[in-house]
């Protein structure tokens, strides 16, 4: 079976800075480099490269020079492409300030990503999972999810960037992946959450399975009423830009290959940890063999805890 990723692709402009600027603050950067990026493209590469899955991607690009490295990176990773070529919008771009502590601030100019339409979705024959994000028009994402659910395809949504979503979309999602801030928006309770609040938020989201990524703390999942916790892996981070996208792609690839959720979460957390040790979005995504070797080195711990938690 094949995975289909439908979503965004950008060219990232990354500036190294001492710290991420506060509102109204100007900081001097040290270097500027460009990397292929975009949540959809990052996740497609993670599916193929780190997850070892047969992966296709539907994306929209401009008719410009920025599109060339984006396409080349995806093809090099083994992703089969269906490109919608925009004649009036440039390839999407992102401007990233990368601080010395590995934190970042990102501004996205979506460009051609806004031109993706419902009718662009290809045939779903032979597709096991459809992976979506929110950097393309919400109406398009909703139409894709509805059509995939009707075709019996497992629909996975990484609800990022954060925004409120209605039942017309959530009702067609099998697996939702969010970070803690995104979960707060979806649960109608933005702001910092304690452990009990986090569990309550997971319970309120009307999707069969919800996973919340927690950075260095790992990930927490609710599948029905069962809760799974996967601790994070200790690494020395350089750049966290594509860690969440790496988690999403590797998780879905593992599930498509028959892994149970605890094993899929463990593999996804390991791949995301490795991605944090390298600079750039797509260049940071590890190979499957690197993930295997990393898991062999850390041995049996940490392992997902399959016990049920009350909430």
Residue 184 located in a structural domain: yes
* 307, part of any domain: no
Which CATH number goes with the domain that contains 237?
3.40.1190.20
Q: Pick from 12, 4, 5: which is nearest to 92 by CA?
A: 12
- Has residue 28 been placed in a domain? no
| Mean per-residue pLDDT of the chain | 92
Domain assignment of residue 240, yes or no: yes
| Domain contains 306 | no
Is 310 a member of any domain?
no
Tell me what pLDDT residue 300 has: 54
Residue at 304 is within a domain? no
Q: Of the listed 245, 292, 296, 305, which one is catalytic?
A: 245
pLDDT for 309 equals 30
What are the tokens at 235?
């690494």
Task: Specify the number of domains making up the chain.
Answer: 1
Residue 121: what pLDDT? 98
Low-confidence stretches of the chain (pLDDT < 70) are: 191-194, 196, 300-311
Q: What are phi and psi of 112, to 5 degrees?
A: -60, -20
Sign of CA dihedral 164, 167, 169, 172: positive
Q: What is the dihedral of CA 176, 253, 51, 265, to 10 degrees?
A: 50
User: Catalytic annotation on 64?
Assistant: no
Q: Which domain holds residue 105?
A: 2-23+33-298
pLDDT in tens, 86-125: 999 999 999 989 898 878 888 989 999 999 999 999 999 9
Give the per-residue pLDDT at 101. 85
């Amino acid at each position: 079976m094949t995975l289909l990723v439908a979503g965004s692709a950008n060219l990232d402009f990354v500036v190294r800075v001492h710290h991420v600027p506060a509102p109204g603050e100007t900081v001097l950067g040290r270097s500027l480099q460009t990397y292929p990026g975009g949540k959809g493209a990052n996740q497609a590469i993670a599916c193929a490269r780190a997850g070892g899955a047969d992966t296709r991607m539907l994306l929209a690009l401009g008719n410009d020079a920025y599109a060339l490295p984006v396409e080349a990176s995806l093809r090099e990773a083994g992703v089969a492409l269906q490109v919608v070529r925009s004649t009036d919008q440039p390839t999407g771009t992102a401007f990233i300030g990368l601080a010395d502590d590995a934190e970042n601030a990102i501004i996205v100019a979506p460009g051609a990503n806004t031109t993706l339409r419902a009718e662009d979705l290809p045939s779903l024959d032979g597709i096991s999972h459809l992976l979506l994000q929110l950097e393309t028009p919400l109406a398009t994402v909703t139409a894709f999810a509805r059509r995939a659910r009707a075709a019996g395809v497992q629909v996975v949504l990484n609800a990022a960037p954060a925004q409120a979503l209605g039942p017309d979309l959530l009702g067609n999602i099998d697996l939702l992946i969010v970070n803690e801030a995104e979960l707060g928006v979806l649960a109608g309770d933005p702001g910092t959450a304690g452990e009990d609040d986090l569990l309550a938020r997971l319970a309120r989201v009307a999707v069969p399975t919800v996973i919340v990524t927690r950075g260095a703390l790992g990930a927490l999942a609710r599948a029905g009423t069962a809760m799974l916790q996967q601790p994070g892996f200790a690494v020395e981070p350089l750049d966290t830009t594509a860690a969440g996208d790496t988690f999403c792609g590797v998780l879905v690839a593992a599930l498509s290959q028959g892994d149970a959720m605890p094993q899929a979460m463990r593999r996804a957390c390991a791949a995301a940890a490795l991605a944090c040790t390298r600079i750039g979005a797509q260049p940071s995504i590890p190979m499957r063999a690197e993930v295997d070797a990393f898991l062999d080195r850390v041995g049996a711990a940490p392992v997902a805890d399959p016990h049920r938690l009350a909430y």
